[in-house]
Structure formats: structure tokens, C-alpha cells
Structure 1
């Protein structure tokens, strides 16, 4: 087992939750539950533990997790619940530098999406650009509620995987 994963597996539940609790937006309960699956042999095993917690969570908990995510492309300072990770991720896709016309289109698309699904649109913005995000938001508005719930959860897992890699890299750097 890699030294990083030996260290991660040896953490107590509180320390593990502190380290990985922010992978899923405002939902440290996922890390708390994933800790039970240790020891972790590698990154794949760690990520699988997080995904399993989300997959077997009751529907109400899954919807609460989805609703913890911020609306994309809000004007800076409007959403004080936006985590630093979300701010950085949105900035990486240029969502903090929209023209007035782009912001209006995002706002209209966000409102149409929320009206249909009663949840924020979720996409892994670190793997996307603003035009792709807008196109996906408009395309996915045609999905069924169940399709969109599944898609949102898959995107949340993608976001968490990238954040997890960031945490693991930091651990390797500070070994």
C-alpha cells in the first residue's frame, strides 16, 4: 500500500472527515461514512468508498446533497455560502468573468432549470468551459427528473474525485 494511503487509512474518523469532508459540498457526512471502508489500497478504492456512500444514501439525502451545490455564475458577493473550492472551480471556467449578456443567459438558464427540477444545475466546471456549460444546461433541461438526478450525482462524484486528487497531492507534497 502506498505510504499516502497507509497514512490516510490510519487516520481516525474525525481526522479523516476533516481532511476529506469538503470533497462533497457542505456534506462531511459522506467522508464520515466512507471512513468505515478503510483500509484504502489506492486512490480508486478511496474514490469508490465515497461514491458508494452517495449511491446507497436515501433519495432524500441525495437530493439534499444536490441542493447543497451553488448555482453557477452567480455574481461575486451574491452567494455567501459559496465555498472557496466552488469559487476557484467556477473561476477556472471563466464564470467569474462573464459579460452582461452571458450573465443574463446563465441567469435565465439557471431559472429554467431550477423551475423544472427544483435543484441547481450541476456540472464539473473544472472540466468544462462556459459555452459548454451553458449548452449542457440548456440541453439537460430536456431530461426527465430522474435522469437529471442521476446526472447531477455523477457530476458531483466527478467534482469530488478532482478535489480528492488535490488533497492527495497535498499529502504527498507534505510527506
Structure 2
């Protein structure tokens, strides 16, 4: 697979952050052999983990608020739209939407990046519970948790694109 094909196919699994796929390819971490989830996930995550804190913060900041203004405006990436809809975040009551907005604002003010959680398999109540718990974490704890959630999201996105071994 050529570099541009690889980046076109996998550059979006890290939300608006194609540099991860570019570096994995350029570093020779991805082989042209049969691609599967494991063969793509491991090098992508290795690049993400090796990135500077500032670069990882940029990846975190590329994620949309849950049930936020981009969702309302219909401006989410297709992956994010499907993920949020699957958790019911596109069908919030006005009170639920107000609570998400309140938490999104408080979280962003405290941590400097949006609340990130792999929503697949979760209900809106599960997400709110996690939100309300995690907002009390330290910045260091939450940075690590958010990065772990990004890695989980990447795995889920790759599973929708590739076969597993």
C-alpha cells in the first residue's frame, strides 16, 4: 500500500490527526502484508505514545464535545456522528442536553481539552456517570485517561475497517 493510500484510509482514526498514520508509515512500522486490526493498531498507538505531550494534547483537542455544538450543527466527522448517535447522544432531552453542555464547559475549563470516552456500547446515562466522576480527577490523571480512551476509539474504528486475526 502506498503512503497516500495508507494515510487516506487510516489517517482519520485519530480524530483530525493524520500525522500519526504518516509517521507510522514513514517509520516503516506498517508492512504491506495483509493488513488487519492488530498490524495497524500497534504501530499507530506506538506513534501516538511516542508523540510529545503537546502533540497528544492536539489529538485530544481535535475531538468534539459530546452532544456539543458540532453535533447540533451537523459538523461531526462521520465516525464521531455514528459513535455519538449509537450512544443516544443525538436524542437527548433538553435537560440532558443542558447537563452535557454544563459538564463540557466545566471539563474544558479545568483540563483544556474535551471529555473523551469511547461511547460504543455505552448509554447516555453511562457517559454522564463517567463524566461526573472523571471531572474530579487531576489533570495528569485525566490526560492519561483521555489518551487511553483515544486508543480505545482507534481500536473500535479499525475494527470497523479491517478484519481481526
Say yes or no: TM over 0.5: yes
Aligned mate of 1:30, from 10, 16, 20: 20
Task: Compute the RMSD of aligned alpha carbons.
Answer: 1.5
Which runs of structure 2 are paired with 1:1-175 in the superposition (5 Å)? 11-35=1-25, 36-39=28-31, 42-74=36-68, 76-78=71-73, 80=75, 82-169=76-163
**CA–CA distance in 1 between the matches of 2:142 and 2:99?**
20
Higher relative contact order (CA 8 A, sep 6+): 2
Task: After TM superposition, give the deviation of residue 38 of structure 1 in Å.
Answer: 2.2
Structure label with greater radius of gyration: 1
Task: After TM superposition, give the deviation of residue 118 of structure 1 in Å.
Answer: 1.1
Cα deviations by residue, 1:100-126 (Å, 9 ceiling, x for unpaired): 111111111111111110110000011
Task: Answer with 24-33 or 91-100: which moved more.
Answer: 24-33
Task: After TM superposition, give the deviation of residue 43 of structure 1 in Å.
Answer: 2.7
**CA–CA distance in 1 between the matches of 2:99 and 2:116?**
16
Task: After TM superposition, give the deviation of residue 79 of structure 1 in Å.
Answer: 6.0
Cα deviations by residue, 1:55-95 (Å, 9 ceiling, x for unpaired): 00011100000000000012544363x10110111000000
Structure 1 pair 164–61 and aligned structure 2 pair: CA distance change class (3 A):
same
Structure 1: runs of 5 or more not aligned: 1-10, 170-175
> How many residues are treated as equivalent by the alignment?
158
SS for the counterpart of 1:27 is: coil
Task: After TM superposition, give the deviation of residue 33 of structure 1 in Å.
Answer: 1.4
SS for the counterpart of 2:113 is: coil
CA contact (8 A) 2:23 2:47 kept: yes
